[in-house]
A and B are shown apart, each in its own frame.
Chain A
Amino acid sequence: MGVVHIRTPLDEETVLSLKAGDRVLLSGTVYAARDAAHKRMSEMIEKGEPLPLPLQGQVIYYVGPSPAAPGHVIGAAGPTTSGRMDKYTPALLALGLKGMIGKGYRDEEVVKAIARHKAVYFAATGGAGALLASRIRKNETIAFEDLGPEAIRKLEVEEFPLIVINDAYGNDYYRQIADSAD
């Protein structure tokens, strides 16, 4: 199976070239944010406040890492279940978010919003916390430090192994697999 190398920020050409089921190696900046951070960002958007991270062309990684050992960039850093962020996602896509990394299925509204705004949702291997951490080169807390593991971090990743689950055409790789299993 072929693997595509892609870089962040994701431009439209890159997003449109990706199809559900594609294997990619992603390099560049991704922003770690999960439940509590998404709730805060949702409230900030509603109040018209500026967000503490750029969104245009960017990728959010749904992760709450364990603490880093001395001399290490990050602790274990595998994906958390993306569906819990579904409620907050269409608003972020409307503001220019182009990619999300997590694991597990997205709901119908998010799958449609991903196609409407031309973005892509990737899955990383759940539970591969040590392996995925070994592909993270930099880790900087940039907002909501009080949230501890749920703070927003700016991460530099190198050849992060991902699978495209939802593409800009409305396809869903989990659905495709389930349909072919019947």
Chain B
Amino acid sequence: MREIRYETIVREVAEMCKAANYELGEDVITAFRKALRAERSETARDVLDQLVRNAELAAELRMPTCQDTGVAVFFAELGADCRVVGGRLQDAICEGVRKGYGEGLLRASMVGHPLKRGNTGDNTPAIIHLELVEGDRLTLHMSAKGGGSENMSALRMLKPADGWEGVKGFVLDTVRKAGPNACPPLVVGIGIGGNFETCAILAKRSLFRPIGERHADPEIAALENELLEEINRLGIGPQGLGGDTTALDVRIEMHPCHIAALPVAVNLNCHASRHRTVVL
């Protein structure tokens, strides 16, 4: 039984929080540059150029690319042959968030009560999804999830008869309604199937895929490409100011579901698509 120390988790989580906020992923920067080359709209190219320069400046100054340093969302894969010693895994993650957001000068963006709205002061609690897996590693996936994109995300319980056309229609409606608000160009995560809560988790989980990586199943990969094309034909463009680049990527995860159900969740991510993974 391999042991992973509480302090190790705290330290690694703190570093992930900072890294996710100071440096955009290479896949994101590559996607910006690719979009810049293909964009026909001058305004859109100007916005994309600002985003590239912003990323360079933030990385240079070790400051967040965006002031909304997000809710700290974790998917923790705990191997059956390892255990956390010195404290609870959830506590270690929260302490790591407190440490990273504090010393990293990231913003405290959590309120303790959804109606009374008092800021918790340290960006905790983190939101943690725990999975038990094979092996003796602890893998932590962290997403710094901003409020703007999250607020324009949506879930609907479709009817089986609605089919793929119904799913597409709902996704396009969601992106259309979001317009400029979720900071396009977007990364669109889609969960289809499961139950009311699981399609949402699937959609969130899908946001960790690198931009450009298609689903292993070629049928689903084809659906992803189809949707990406149709979303970009909407012409919403970067920051909703028009253009060919409304989404950088679409990823779909599916799951078995009830004979009466077709749940669909659309979790939008902004252009920053901030996430990190560490294996302990």
Cα A111 to Cα B68 in complex, Å, equals 26
Cα A78 to Cα B119 in complex, Å, equals 20
Question: A-side interface residues toward B, CB under 8 Å?
Answer: 1, 36, 63-69, 72, 75-78, 80-81, 83, 103-105, 123, 125-131, 133-134, 147-150, 163, 173-174, 177-178, 180-182
CB of B237 within 8 Å of the partner chain? yes
Tell whether, in the assembled complex, residue A81 and residue B148 are in contact, meaning their CB atoms are under 8 Å apart: yes
Tell whether, in the assembled complex, residue B58 and residue A130 are in contact, meaning their CB atoms are under 8 Å apart: yes
Give the residue name and chain of the A residue nearest to B55 (CB).
Answer: A130
Tell whether, in the assembled complex, residue A147 and residue B119 are in contact, meaning their CB atoms are under 8 Å apart: yes
CB of B210 within 8 Å of the partner chain? no
Question: B-side interface residues toward A, CB under 8 Å?
Answer: 42-43, 47, 50-51, 53-54, 57-58, 61-69, 105-109, 117, 119, 121, 147-148, 151, 179-181, 183, 234-237, 239-242, 270-272
Tell whether, in the assembled complex, residue B180 and residue A104 are in contact, meaning their CB atoms are under 8 Å apart: yes
B121 partner residues in chain A, CB cutoff 8 A:
148
Tell whether, in the assembled complex, residue B64 and residue A128 are in contact, meaning their CB atoms are under 8 Å apart: no
Tell whether, in the assembled complex, residue B53 and residue A131 are in contact, meaning their CB atoms are under 8 Å apart: yes
Tell whether, in the assembled complex, residue A128 and residue B107 are in contact, meaning their CB atoms are under 8 Å apart: no
Tell whether, in the assembled complex, residue A105 and residue B180 are in contact, meaning their CB atoms are under 8 Å apart: yes
Give the residue name and chain of the A residue nearest to B47 (CB).
Answer: A125
A69 partner residues in chain B, CB cutoff 8 A:
61-63, 105
* Total inter-chain residue pairs, C-beta < 8 Å: 142
Give the residue name and chain of the B residue nearest to A181 (CB).
Answer: B235
* Chain B interface, DSSP helix/strand/loop, else mixed: loop
Tell whether, in the assembled complex, residue B63 and residue A177 are in contact, meaning their CB atoms are under 8 Å apart: no
Tell whether, in the assembled complex, residue B180 and residue A123 are in contact, meaning their CB atoms are under 8 Å apart: yes
Q: Which of B50, B108, B239, B270 contacts A149, CB < 8 Å?
A: B108
B270 partner residues in chain A, CB cutoff 8 A:
126-127
Tell whether, in the assembled complex, residue B107 and residue A177 are in contact, meaning their CB atoms are under 8 Å apart: no
Chain A to chain B contacts (Cβ below 8 Å), 26 pairs? A64-B107, A65-B107, A67-B106, A67-B107, A69-B61, A75-B63, A75-B107, A76-B63, A76-B67, A80-B67, A80-B147, A81-B181, A123-B180, A125-B50, A126-B66, A127-B183, A128-B66, A130-B64, A131-B57, A134-B57, A148-B119, A149-B108, A149-B119, A177-B235, A181-B236, A182-B235
